[in-house]
Every structure is written in C-alpha cells, then in structure tokens.
Amino acid sequence: MGSYIPNTGEQRREMLSAVGAQCVQDLFASVPKDMLVGDGLDLPEGLSELEVRRAVTAMAEKNRIYPTVLRGAGAYRHFIPAVVRSVVTREELVTAYTPYQAEISQGILQSIFEFQTMICMLTGMDVANASVYDGGTAAAESIAMCKDRRRTKAYVSACAHPHVIETMRTYCFGSDTELVVVPEKDGRTDLEALKAALGADAACFYLQQPNYYGNMEDAAAIGEIVHAAGAKFVMGVNPIACAVMATPAECGADIAVGEGQPLGLDIAFGGPYLGFMAATKAMFRKLPGRIVGQTHDVEGQVGYVLTLTAREQHIRREKASSNICSNQALCALTAGVYLTAMGPEGLEKAARQSMSKAHYLAAELEKIGMKRLHGGEFFHEFVTACDKPQAVLDALDKAGILGGLPVEGGILWCVTEMVSREEIDRAVAIIKEVC
C-alpha cells in the first residue's frame, strides 16, 4: 500500500524526463538483467495502517504480561517515571543521526556529556564513553583495552552473568585471545583459585558486582589480587546498586562497565539496552566508541563535540582497537533523564527498597523452609535451594506472578521496588502450598 513516497506519478515522470530516462527501470541499467527479481519476490501485499496495527498488535497479544515479576537475571523491571517516556519520544531526539554536525546537534551532544558525567558519578571513575550496545559487549570490549604485547590472556569470574561470559568468549574467538573462567566457591569468585590462575600474561580480570547470583563479592580484596598480578581490574556493576554499594573506584577498578537497562529502560524482551564504560584517567584513551567533549565556538560560547575521534575506526581503520561506530544514544538519553528524575535520593530509594524487599522475600521463604543456597551478603537477587522448581513456578504463574529463574541448584529470585510487600506475601503463601 503505502511506501511513504510523496511524489505523484506526474512528478516522477517529470523527474525521469529531467534525467533523460524513459522509465525507472532505465536507472537500473547497470544491474545485470537476469539478476533482477522482477515480480518474483514472495512477499505479502502491503497493508493499510489499520491492518498493520491489527496484525502487529495480534502478535503482541500472544505474549503474556505478568503483573508481578520476581525474575531478574540481567533484565530488571524498575519503576520508570512518566517524564522519561515523555522526553525520549520527542521526534527530534528519536530521528536524528549521530551528531557529526555539532552546530545543529548540541542537544544530543550535551545529553551525552551529561550521561558521561552521571556514569562517572555512579561508578566513581574519571571518564566514561558515550555508551556501547549493552553490558555484555561492554565487558567484551574492555578486554581489548587491557591487552598488550606481554599481557594477552583475559580472565572472567564464573559468577558473572552467563550471557556476559558467552559474549566475551565470542569476542575472544575473534581476537584469538585465551579466556579463562575463574571458578566459583559458595556462589562467589574463588579468591584462592584467582590468585593461582593469574600469571605474568594476565591482561585483565572481570568481576560482576553484585554477581549473577545476587551475591556481593569482596571486590576490594579481589582488586588487590588482580593488581598484585599486574593485571587490570574490570568491574561489571549494576548501576542502581551503585547508589548504595562501594563504587568500582572505591574497590580499585581500572575499568567499570555495566548494563544500563535498570536506568529507565523497559525490559522489552531483551533490548534495546545500554552498555556503559568508564575508566581511570590513566586508561581513558583506550576507551572504545564515541566520546563527547566540551569546548567553545568561535565566539567563545560553550559547546560540545565528538572528540578523541582519531582512536576510532573511521580514521584508524584496520588499526582501530574496536569497530564500534554508533552508540545507544537514545538509551543513554533515557538513562540521563531517569537519573535526573530520580535524583540522588530517589535512586538510593530504588536501590535500598529493591535490596530490602529482596531480603524480606528471602526471610519469608526461609520461614517456609526454602533456604538460601549461598551465605553472605546479597543485593536484590538471591538463590534458594528448591527440589521442585517447576511446580513452584507453575503455581506462581497461575496467579500472574513470574517467579524466579530456575538455575542449577535452585531458583534465582529478584525483587525490585515495583513489588509490594503484599505481593511478596501472596507469592510466599502460594509457594508454601506447593512445598
């Protein structure tokens, strides 16, 4: 039906005649004739807007929306203030390209500069980039920042998110880098194994905080072990947890990365999300991707530009350390608006409530005999042992509750500020019936 083409048949004929063509096919004269598909494409007829709305809405309706979500594992349903959607659906911001023409892109550039600043505030690091695709690719990109001629091996904790480990492994397959997984012990990185594993060829160690099981790692001690081996310490952090836990900078991280989805982005079946990357001053030139800097114009007015661009692929080509070109600008903007709306108190509230409610759920589950699988501190996720996870999850499912994620040894639960005490009590009552 429509193809959003404004020109009428008459105008097209005029234009064809202006370029000296009889018909539009003449313009494709350089395409070998027998290669043209003609009418041969097996595609459905185009639809009117009403029809397409029906068709796509029908697909959306085949998905189930759970009123209560007790599952996280890398995608977290937090409260999103109304102002966030209102700002990030403005069409100037939605439809612009990468801000190559700084004079007419100050809005995007300034929003990225503010985002970079906020990521530095959250992580305590000195410098942040304009964002990358997601937390997994941010972790994978950090390896290239740390490798040099002598230090060629990358290390990752077994307690990192499995997707992150897999993504790192795929990137390492590309760069022919050896990736060593340091084993876990009681739901945390095994410090002795880490000490033993790191050799003179260790480039970096990646630690997730809180880790995949929700447990808090002894990040500062791990940082010391990593530095003692002469390697770089990379921390992958939950940005909301950063409001309450010791920051990557306080734990001695050289690089802090993470998944920015909790900062105002919908869970949206896995994306788009937002990878953030921050580093110490000593390492900032190794950051991949776009970076915005402050400068001034010919009249002395403050303005913003993409800067340090000679690191990047469009200039360095095969000598660039990363191929990344775009960032997730609109997602970075979303995070910026979210953090502004929440403010320091609001963010701490979201973090503290998520953590407190998770502890409440853990305590209530323990009362009915579902014990935590690991000891020690946790943030807003934890694993309980469970001998019939499917029965538990099915029972919750019937009540409109997405229960925790089945993992080896039990169930990985998550609670955010979105879940009320009443909902938790209801879930526990259902579980009690099953167990």
385 touches another protein by CB under 8 A? no
**Binding span for another protein by CB under 8 A among 151-159, 194-202, 345-353, 426-434:** 345-353
Q: Confirm if 76 and 241 have CB atoms less than 8 A apart.
A: no
Nearer to another protein, 190 or 266 (CB): 266
Provide the pairing of β-strand 275-279 with 255-259. antiparallel
Q: How far is CA 154 from CA 92, 165, 197, in A?
A: 41, 11, 11
248 touches another protein by CB under 8 A? no
Instruction: Supply the minimum distance, in Å, between the C-beta of residue 72 and another protein.
Output: 9
296-315 residues in contact with another protein (CB under 8 A) are 296-299, 301, 303-305, 307-310, 312-315
22-41 residues in contact with another protein (CB under 8 A) are 24, 27-32, 35-37, 41
Provide the pairing of β-strand 275-279 with 127-128. antiparallel
Quote the CA–CA distance of 400 and 295 in Å, as a whole number. Answer: 53
DSSP assignment of 68-83 equals: EE---TT-------HH
**Binding span for another protein by CB under 8 A among 169-177, 181-189, 192-200, 367-375:** 169-177
- Number of residues counted as binding another protein (CB under 8 A): 202
Instruction: Supply the minimum distance, in Å, between the C-beta of residue 109 and another protein.
Output: 9
Q: How far is CA 3 from CA 6, 24, 37, 46, 96, in A?
A: 9, 16, 19, 9, 21
Q: How far is CA 91 from CA 36, 50, 94, 102, in A?
A: 37, 22, 5, 18
129-158 residues in contact with another protein (CB under 8 A) are 130-131, 133-137, 144
Q: How far is CA 233 from CA 130, 149, 202, 360, in A?
A: 21, 18, 11, 33
97 touches another protein by CB under 8 A? yes
245 touches another protein by CB under 8 A? yes
Nearer to another protein, 73 or 370 (CB): 73
DSSP assignment of 141-156 equals: HHHHHH--SS--EEEE
Instruction: Supply the minimum distance, in Å, between the C-beta of residue 384 and another protein.
Output: 17
Instruction: Supply the minimum distance, in Å, between the C-beta of residue 198 and another protein.
Output: 22
From 146, 331, 386, 392, residue interacting with another protein (rule: CB under 8 A): 331
3 touches another protein by CB under 8 A? yes
178-197 residues in contact with another protein (CB under 8 A) are none
Q: How far is CA 295 from CA 51, 102, 127, 346, in A?
A: 50, 11, 16, 32
Closest CA to 60 of 269, 212, 202: 269
From 159, 225, 405, 428, residue interacting with another protein (rule: CB under 8 A): 405
222-241 residues in contact with another protein (CB under 8 A) are none
44 touches another protein by CB under 8 A? yes
Distance, C-alpha 366 to centroid of its chain: 32
11 touches another protein by CB under 8 A? yes
Instruction: Supply the minimum distance, in Å, between the C-beta of residue 188 and another protein.
Output: 14
Backbone angles phi, psi at 284, to 5 degrees: -65, -25
366 touches another protein by CB under 8 A? no
